[in-house]
Amino acid sequence: MNGLFISFEGIDGAGKSTHIDALAQAIKTQGKVVALTREPGGTPLAEQLRALILNAPMDAMTEALLVFAARRDHLQQVIAPALARDEVVLCDRFTDATFAYQGGGRGFDWDVLSVLEGWVQAQAGPASFGTTAAGLLQPHLTVWFDVPPAVAAKRLSNARLPDKFESQPVDFFEKVAHGYARRMAAEPERFIRIDANQAPELVWKDVAQAMQTRGVLLPC
C-alpha cells in the first residue's frame, strides 16, 4: 500500500474537525486524492454501530468490541482500498481513541485492547493474528489536538445536546488525555502533538507547519 494514512485525535471539545476539513482542502489543492472519513463510522455498518456506541448504555468491554467491529469493517471497505489507490486517508479518530477512551477513560484492560488491535489491524490476514505490532495497519501519522480538559468542557457546554461521551465529567477526560499521552510515549515518531489551547487560526498554523515538515503539504 502506497497511500498515506493520517489520524486525528483529541478529547471531545479539542476542536479538531475544522482543521481536518481545512487540511483535506489544502491537500486536494496540491493535486492529491483525499479520502476523508471518521471513526466510529465511515461505512454504512460502522455508522449504525456508531449510533449505538454514542448513545446506548453498555459496559467498557462491549464498547471496545463494538468500536473494533466498526473499525474492521471500515478498514476493509474504505481505508485499505483507498491506501491501495495511493490516496491520502484522513481519519477523524482511530485506535488511539479506543486506548484513550475505553482504556484510559473507562479503565478497560490495556492488554486486551492490544490483542484486539492485533486481530483487527493485522495486515497479513488471520495467520498473523496476535503477532507483532510490526504487522499492523496503523496510521503513518497521528495528529493529537491536546487541550486541557477544563477548557474543552467549557467549549462543549456551548455545544449541541451532548452524547454519552460528551456528557462525561472533566475527570473522565483527564483520564482520556493520559491515555493519549501513553500512546504517544509508546510511539513518539508517529505522533504530532498540537497545542489546541490557542485561537483556531494559530492551531491551524501549527497543523499546516507540521504537515509541511512531514512532507504532507508542500511549502507555500
Neighbours of 37 (CB within 10 A): 21
The nearest distance, CB 68 to ligand TMP, in angstroms, is 8
Cβ proximity to ligand TMP: between 82 and 98 the closer is 98
Alpha carbon distance 16, 195 (integer Å): 11
* Longest Cα separation, the chain: 49
The nearest distance, CB 93 to ligand TMP, in angstroms, is 4
The nearest distance, CB 2 to ligand TMP, in angstroms, is 25
Cβ proximity to ligand TMP: between 23 and 217 the closer is 23
Cβ proximity to ligand TMP: between 156 and 217 the closer is 156
Alpha carbon distance 34, 131 (integer Å): 31
The nearest distance, CB 127 to ligand TMP, in angstroms, is 26
Cβ proximity to ligand TMP: between 12 and 206 the closer is 12
Question: Where along the sequence are the contacts to ligand TMP (CB under 6 A)?
Answer: 12, 38-40, 54, 67, 92-93, 97-98, 101-102, 165
Cβ proximity to ligand TMP: between 34 and 68 the closer is 68
The nearest distance, CB 113 to ligand TMP, in angstroms, is 9
